[in-house]
């Protein structure tokens, strides 16, 4: 039987999705599912739903739950990391302190002051998980869902021998959005996507041999469609490719869209992708806190069924366990030069072939100059954030924030220094000892 450990399984809705995905494959329906979280109440909620899924479908899978991480990892074949370190207090500091200086983050979990400081409080715990993996299940594949994806995966690559792959659903979500904009079935799109997490590029985009980029450019002239994805259409117009993260999110990784209220207002569109104001994710996180504590309120465990989502984890596991070839966009080390004009130690998001022999990144070659230049502005921050976390290097943290594109567009160097010191002081209890 395949043993799959979920670390951070107290997020019931997401953990339920992952467990359901795994059990939806007949070849994995006898898996051992080990659920682990430090929050015993939320863990219990997830365990009840997972056990109901197995029982209702009359499967041979087993479900165990524990607050002991080592117990969950013992003998695991796959480890899914979905932790959140620190909770609401540091998250609020990472958004509100920069906001007081004029740095307006919508999400703050990938780059910018928010992403950098989220990485600093997350990487130490991830290194502890990796150390346990090296001891208790050294051949396991670590599948990481925790943001900031590129920074966390890069830290694991640099500091450990654990085989880590980062999973994100931005590519299929973007493909679905594009399919709506150009009015073609999403499952008939053909594309080649590469770059970095949350800033990868649709290098080719076709439907039955037709290049869809002319139709996408035509679609953006429709005001109703443009309003659904303002920033991404602007990037398409100015840089020639569609990017893989929603407009409100990708606006944080660039210097163009969040430096004055007028531009933010101008770029605010319709629907989920159009939410440009500051702290949209933080406010949503706080509003959903009670729901997470009472996640079973609207769930009848007797009626819980198994459904397969678009998440990648179960497909990776199924491909490796059954030698079923698949191609998915994953976050991996660029050590083999998958993207030739990005550093070899960067974490890149590229097409990967998965089969019984594992995960194999596809060679992309050079990205177009304008696109790779934008990626490099983020990769530079990734490296310095990792240096700060792994070496307890206070100066590296300062330089990471100073090189952040949005922060640098808004503040002077002295202002950035003061803001970074304030963030370090406010979140000191959650950070490595910075010297």
Rounded alpha-carbon distances, angstroms, from residue 292 to 32, 330, 369: 25, 28, 44
Kind and range of the H or E run holding 79: strand 78-81
Three-class secondary structure of residue 210 per DSSP: strand
Neighbours of 329 (CB within 10 A): 26
CB 250 within 8 A of CB 243: yes
Catalytic residue among 41, 169, 249, 382: 169
Residue 248 annotated among the catalytic residues of the structure? no
How, if at all, do strands 326-333 and 347-355 pair? antiparallel
CB 48 within 8 A of CB 64: no
Kind and range of the H or E run holding 14: helix 12-23
Token code pair at residue 27: 């070849």
Residue in 412, 111, 103 with CA at minimum distance from that of residue 260: 103
Residue matched to tokens 């992403």:
115
Three-class secondary structure of residue 63 per DSSP: strand
Q: Catalytic residues, which ones?
A: 169
């Amino acid at each position: 039987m395949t043993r799959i450990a979920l670390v951070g399984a107290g997020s019931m809705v997401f953990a339920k999705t992952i467990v359901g995905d795994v059990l939806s494959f007949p070849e994995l329906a006898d898996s051992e599912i080990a659920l682990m979280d430090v929050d015993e109440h939320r863990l219990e909620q997830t365990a009840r739903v997972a056990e109901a899924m197995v029982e209702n479908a009359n499967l041979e899978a087993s479900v165990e739950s524990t607050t002991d991480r080592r117990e969950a990892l013992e003998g695991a074949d796959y480890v899914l990391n979905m932790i959140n370190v620190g909770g609401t207090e540091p998250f609020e500091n990472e958004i509100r302190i920069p906001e007081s200086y004029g740095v307006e983050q919508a999400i703050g979990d990938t780059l910018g002051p928010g992403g950098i400081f989220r990485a600093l409080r997350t990487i130490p715990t991830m290194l502890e998980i990796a150390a346990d993996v090296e001891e208790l299940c050294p051949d396991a594949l670590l599948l990481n869902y925790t943001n900031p994806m590129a920074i966390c995966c890069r830290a694991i690559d640099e500091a450990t021998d654990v085989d880590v792959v980062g999973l994100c659903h931005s590519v299929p979500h973007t493909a679905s959005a594009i399919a709506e904009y150009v009015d073609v079935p999403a499952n008939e799109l053909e594309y080649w996507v590469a770059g970095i997490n949350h800033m990868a590029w649709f290098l080719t985009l076709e439907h039955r041999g037709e290049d869809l980029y002319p139709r996408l450019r035509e679609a953006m002239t429709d005001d109703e469609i443009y309003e659904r994805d303002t920033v991404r259409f602007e990037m398409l117009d100015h840089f020639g490719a569609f990017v893989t993260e929603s407009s409100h999110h990708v606006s944080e990784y660039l210097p163009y869209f969040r430096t004055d209220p007028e531009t933010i207002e101008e770029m605010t569109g319709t629907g989920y992708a159009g939410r440009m104001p500051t702290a949209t994710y933080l406010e949503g996180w706080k509003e959903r806190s009670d729901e997470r504590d009472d996640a079973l309120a609207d769930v009848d465990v007797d009626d819980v069924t198994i459904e397969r989502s678009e998440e990648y984890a179960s497909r990776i596991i199924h491909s490796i366990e059954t030698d079923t070839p698949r191609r998915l966009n994953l976050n991996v080390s660029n050590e083999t030069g998958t993207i030739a004009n990005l550093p070899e130690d960067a974490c890149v998001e590229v097409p990967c072939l998965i089969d019984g022999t594992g995960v194999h990144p596809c060679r992309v070659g050079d990205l177009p100059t304008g696109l790779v230049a934008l990626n490099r502005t983020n990769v530079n921050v990734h490296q310095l954030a990792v240096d700060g976390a792994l070496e307890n290097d206070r100066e590296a943290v300062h330089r990471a924030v100073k090189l952040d594109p949005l922060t640098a567009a808004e503040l002077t160097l002295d202002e950035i220094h003061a803001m970074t010191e304030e963030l370090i002081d406010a979140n000191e209890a959650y950070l490595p000892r910075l010297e």
